[in-house]
Amino acid sequence: MKCASCGAAVHPAADFCGVCGGDAPRPKASSAPRLSGIGFPDVAAGLAGLRTSAPAVSMPRVSRRMLAIAGAGVAGIVIALLLVNAALGADDGSTARQLAAAKTAIEQRDAKIAALEGTVATNTQMQSALQSSAQGTKKENDILKGERDSAKQELTSIEAKLKQTETSLKDAQTTVTKQTADLKTLSGCLNGTSVALAFGRSGRWPSADLALGAVAAACKASEPLLQR
């Protein structure tokens, strides 16, 4: 119910307004709700009967001003409690939003961690594949190095044989050159001897002596060839 003077809310059982001190309005009997088949007017009538039958008790008289002041204090306390409740409700909403934001941040962090773990697993697999490939490449390199070393040894052996062959060819060439000179000397000796014999057959012995004298040195040099 509301006060007819100031419009403030008044409890149905109150006799006066706690704000302005005015008389509290009385509920109509027709509008009173019923509880378990018993109306509030019936309860009020029963209480009235109890009050009439009970012995009277003297109560100290309280002025309406003091009641108004007390009512105003109570109203202030109620308003303060309402404000505190509203603040707590706002705090609860803010806390709920903060918790939701924290939950979202945690979920995003977990998603990032899962993505990073997937990237690490992929990189680990790639690293393992690269290591396997590197090991295979190393084996191939070792094989190629062995083949290269064998080829180097064969090449060194061939080069040594070539050098030996070159030396043999040089020696043979020197021998051939010497034999050519010896044959030329021997040929000169034989030619001169043939001329001397021809002169001797014709009785021209002075010419034969001259021919023999001209090839005497050649014939002397050719003596080792004739002794072989």
CA neighbor of 224 nearest in space, from 162, 156, 172, 178: 178
CB 71 within 8 A of CB 18: yes
Tokens of 192: 């001169």
pLDDT averaged over every residue in the chain: 77
Quickly list H helices, the chain. 40-53, 64-201, 205-214, 216-221, 223-226
pLDDT of 36 higher than 70: no
**From CA 165, how far away is CA 171, in angstroms rounded?**
10
Tokens of 156: 């060194």
Per-residue model confidence as pLDDT tens digits over 44-102: 455 445 444 444 444 445 455 565 666 666 666 767 776 666 655 555 567 777 778 88
The model carries a pTM of 0.34
How large is the average pLDDT for residues 96-120?
A: 85
Residue type, 218: A
**From CA 6, how far away is CA 35, in angstroms rounded?**
31
Per-residue model confidence as pLDDT tens digits over 89-106: 555 567 777 778 888 888
pLDDT score at 59: 44
Per-residue model confidence as pLDDT tens digits over 163-191: 999 999 999 999 999 889 888 888 988 89
Q: What does 140-185 look like in DSSP terms, one character per residue? A: HHHHHHHHHHHHHHHHHHHHHHHHHHHHHHHHHHHHHHHHHHHHHH
pLDDT score at 35: 41
pLDDT score at 87: 59
